[in-house]
Amino acid sequence: MKRLPRGVGVLAIVSIAVLYLPLVAVMALSFNATRHGQSWGGFTWSWYAKLFNNEAVLNAATNSAIVAVTSTSLATVIGTLLAIGLRRLPLGRWGRTSADVIINLPTVTPDILLAAALVVAYGIFRSVVAHFSPESKFFDPGLTTLIIGHVTFQVSFVAVVVGARLKAIGNEQFEAARDLFASTWGVWRRIILPQLAPGIVGGALLAFTLSLDDFVVSFFISGPSSTTLPVLIYASVKRGVTPEIHALSTLIVALTMIAILSIAILNRPRMTKE
């Protein structure tokens, strides 16, 4: 292999350090016995213990889990169907390009715009629903609005990931399965879905981490009883960063990393031998 100039290696190490030092610092402080300041006061699990006795934190964690699991399940089904539907629709070249743009757009739209739009939309829905049933609280800020809000941005990510996988599978797989007497349903069940599965799981894991980590959208549309972990952390940090927050952050980072690693393992290239 050609040797790279020394500078490239140094630059890479510096870049990775800049990316990960803050996270490593937070992780280290979460085990630091000193309550205030950055000086090392010895190793302790006590912040984690306190965390698990904190009613507000446990509540927020439960909310986050409910929202993440529910919205991810919904978004995975909808996003996968969307990707498959678009593949099967007889769109022309122009139609396909527009469909791709429409699907991709939400993935690059700033969260703050989506959040503001959701607030407006829920306002409209509330007044419409109130017209028919004045007692309904369906669109009042709470877990339901959070779940719907998360699904709106998750669907795009799932559809993009699943769609890319579907494209990679290619037309010949469909034709070969047809040629070997498989019905339309048989082609999907026996050939396409098994090959699509890593894409679906990958899309779901991505959607899950997006929901778990989402602050902007959740901050705008959660109610007082539906605080999620990122929103709780934000509120706590305003009163001063405590070691409990470091412990909580460390747990969230760990969970996210597990999800990201799973995606990487699922999408690893298959071993080939020539």
* Smaller CB separation from another protein, 11 or 197: 197
Print burial letters for 3-18: b (CB count within 10 Å at least 16), e (below 16).
eeeeeeeeeeeeeeee
- Least separation in angstroms between residue 73's CB and another protein is 24
Continuous H helices in the chain? 6-30, 46-51, 55-88, 93-108, 111-132, 143-169, 171-179, 184-186, 193-213, 216-221, 229-238, 243-266
- Least separation in angstroms between residue 62's CB and another protein is 38
Task: Please count the CA atoms within 13 angstroms of the CA of 4 that sit on its side-chain side.
Answer: 7
- Least separation in angstroms between residue 183's CB and another protein is 6
* Smaller CB separation from another protein, 148 or 200: 200
- Going by C-alpha positions, the residue among 203, 206, 93, 201 that lies closest to residue 159 is 203
- Least separation in angstroms between residue 75's CB and another protein is 25
* Smaller CB separation from another protein, 96 or 178: 178
- Least separation in angstroms between residue 1's CB and another protein is 25
221 touches 119 (CB < 8 A): yes
Instruction: Note the residues at the interface with another protein (CB under 8 A).
Output: 172-173, 175-183, 186, 190-191, 194-195, 270-274
Mapped onto helix, strand or coil, the DSSP state of residue 43 is strand
- Least separation in angstroms between residue 176's CB and another protein is 4
* Smaller CB separation from another protein, 132 or 185: 185
- Least separation in angstroms between residue 273's CB and another protein is 5
Assigned token pair, 128: 């419409």
Rounded Cα gap, residues 22 and 108, in angstroms: 26
* Smaller CB separation from another protein, 78 or 91: 91
Q: Token match 């969260």: residue? A: 111
Rounded Cα gap, residues 167 and 156, in angstroms: 16
Assigned token pair, 136: 């309904």
* Smaller CB separation from another protein, 128 or 197: 197
* Smaller CB separation from another protein, 177 or 232: 177
